[in-house]
Amino acid sequence: MSLTDVAIRKAKPGINPKGEATPKPYKLGDAGGLYLEVSPKGGKWWRLKYRYEGKEKRISLGTYPDTSLALAREKRDAARKLLAAGVDPGEHRKAEKVAGEDRAANSFEVVAREWFAKHSPQWAPGHANKIIRRLERDLFPWLGSRPIAKITAPELLTALHRIENRQALETAHRVLQNSGQVFRYAIATGRAERNPAADLRGALAPWKPVHLASITEPEKVGELLRTIEGFRAGLIVKSALKLAPLVFVRPGELRHAEWAEVDLDKAQWNIPAARMKMREPHLVPLSTQAVSILRDLHALTGRGRYVFPGAHNPRHPMSSNAILFALRRMGYSKDQMSGHGFRAMARTIMDEVLHIRPDYIEHQLAHAVRDPNGRAYNRTAHLPERRAMMQQWADYLDMLKQGGNVVPIRKRAV
């Protein structure tokens, strides 16, 4: 039964519709999920109950009498139109609040923040931060308040040229990519009909991704390992440098390692999904060499949270630049070796020299590997084989470090 203004005016705090005294708020239902919540202190709040992606949610639509019954129904209908378009009304409201009350409901900034809120939980925190910072710095100041349906390709290109003019060509291409994703989301949710970013293909100066520097020649790898062994540094940084080639995880995953994730008796390190780029938990089998390094370090940092705590504040992980600076102090330039380069080192040599199955390597690199039916392998897939691979790799690195016989990489014929 729908509400009436008379019923709302007669609603008394602390007395429910049955005439019974109650110390709790009670509800007067309208239609379509709209209801009025009457507080024991006399306040009357409009609420909307709805379901989004299988979850029940609620949002406030204002207070009575400032928000009349007719206006509350208008707000309900607007929210249900968003739902019909696949948009969460609650997230839409948050995006509007962040963008500012002066922004139009379907402005570029509101829709972009809504898109970001929907997708960012599946991204690594660092990746998500880079995307929202690009949008806030390079697009929102110029396009944020514009209705997204009215933005043209020349307008977008003008904003991108500002980025190009400061010689940030890679950023310009990434901003174009992100804006295209926002426009596609706007089209899918009924706020736009065209994607102007698609019209700008070829409009920016060409840019090719620069691969992070890595040493992949076995003889030079041996030199690097010997340099690390003789490098004068504190135990924490030295241990991180020695462990990096053995586990070849991403630099951020290494420096954020926590002792609670490491089982030295089982010789494995379980990295939670929240810290992985692909948002899937990852298991790293530890070679005997890796376990030895960690056992030695445990005596120093094992009482704390982080395996590699920061030099100035042990409650934080080691600096993101610690390994990079150490490589530079050892004489390796940015064009020779990077913290990320240990991954390319392992991938190249295990494939080209040790002839290990590529899917074992890719799985250990935490790349997207799927089975013949297209399903993603779980974290324990091929675990015995990967354990053997990690030990074989560690033994091979020991041989290189000791200056053993080196088999040069020979590129396969194509």
Positions annotated as catalytic residues are 250, 277, 340, 343, 367, 377
In 3-state terms the chain splits into helix, strand, coil percentages (rounded to 5) of: 50, 10, 40
Is the distance from CB of 127 to CB of 277 less than 8 angstroms?
yes
- Residue 63 three-state SS: strand
Strands 55-63, 262-263: parallel, antiparallel or unpaired by DSSP? Answer: unpaired
Block residue for tokens 């949270």? 305
| Cβ density class 237-246: b for 16+ within 10 Å, e for less | bbbbbbbbbb
Q: CA 245: distance to chain centroid?
A: 24
Tokens representing 170 are 């890679």
Position 257, amino acid: A
96 vs 89: CA distance, rounded Å:
10
- What DSSP line would sit under 22-61, residue for residue? -SS-EEEE-STTEEEEEPTTS-EEEEEEEEETTEEEEEEE
Block residue for tokens 């949002």? 59
Burial class (CB in 10 A: 0-12, 13-18, 19+), 133: exposed
